[in-house]
Structure 1
């Protein structure tokens, strides 16, 4: 089975912590959301998926909005998405780890997110439970996803 690559939006594709909209990004506004997104991310992620045979998956609180807003804006086709237990299930003590673990059961994974260090205990429990290759790739929410992050996956 191919590796799953989990994508967060805020902090990874949307560098929300930057002081201003970074070069190469465009501000997008929808009724309930705003994001700075780079149209270069879609093609770069698709190229990664093809080059190293991975499946891209949303792991974001954007839920159904991930495909219709962010994904569409950067040129991604609809992706499968992790379902969290409720609208704020990604803020609890186990954060996103339980849902991602269930989704990826038995498969290797790579996960891009900006919040791994906020819950070190949950992160360590998640890593101990995994018996498949697992790479957690921290992303600076002021910078967002870079080519260096993608290169780390492509190895």
Structure 2
């Protein structure tokens, strides 16, 4: 889908809270003097790049890791540097709406997107549906205990390859 984005979260998606499979490897990193333990599947990068190749989607970080995702996460799973949704500040937003949701709504500028995240709920979907400048989108909920799996990528692939009708008012 031309111009579409695939928004990637890190914690809970690429970095699950538990080692749900032997495919995940342990990594350590230090960010601003604080140590982090990561569980990452090195095959995720190749799978995401294949999805990009098949659908033309632009892989984009949508994580509070920000640019650090390009330094600490991407290289460990085989991803090149990706654009980053800037998530800075704490803008006013309705109760129950995730901090990232406001920033994503401002970033997409009408482009269709698939968002892989583990921490979005009904308030986030309502906010996105009602926000000017947000067009077609699919949120793929990832269980933070298990992280990203093939079924999540298959859902994204199906949505990205399904023709959309343009609605004119």
Q: Please, what TM-score do these two structures have when normalized by structure 2?
A: 0.81
Where does the alignment leave 5 or more consecutive residues of structure 2 unmatched?
A: 159-169
Q: C-alpha offsets along residues 87-138 of structure 1, whole Å, 9 cap, x if unaligned?
A: xx49x75421111111111100100000012xx3243121222552110000
Instruction: Return the alpha-carbon distance in structure 2 between the equivalents of residues 154 and 126 of structure 1.
Output: 21
Within the candidate set 113, 125, 128, 1:126 is matched to 128
- Counterparts of 1:1-155 in structure 2, within 5 Å, are 1-16=2-17, 18=18, 20=19, 22-31=21-30, 32-86=35-89, 89=90, 93=95, 94=97, 95-117=99-121, 120-129=122-131, 131-155=134-158
Residue-pair matches, total? 148
Where does the alignment leave 5 or more consecutive residues of structure 1 unmatched?
A: none
Instruction: Return the alpha-carbon distance in structure 1 between the equivalents of residues 88 and 134 of structure 2.
Output: 24
Q: How much does 1:65 deviate?
A: 1.1
Larger Rg: 1 or 2? Answer: 2
Q: CA RMSD in A?
A: 1.8
List structure 1 runs of 4+ shifted beyond 6 angstroms: none
Q: Please, what TM-score do these two structures have when normalized by structure 1?
A: 0.88
In 1, are the aligned partners of 2:105 and 2:134 still within 8 Å (CA)? no
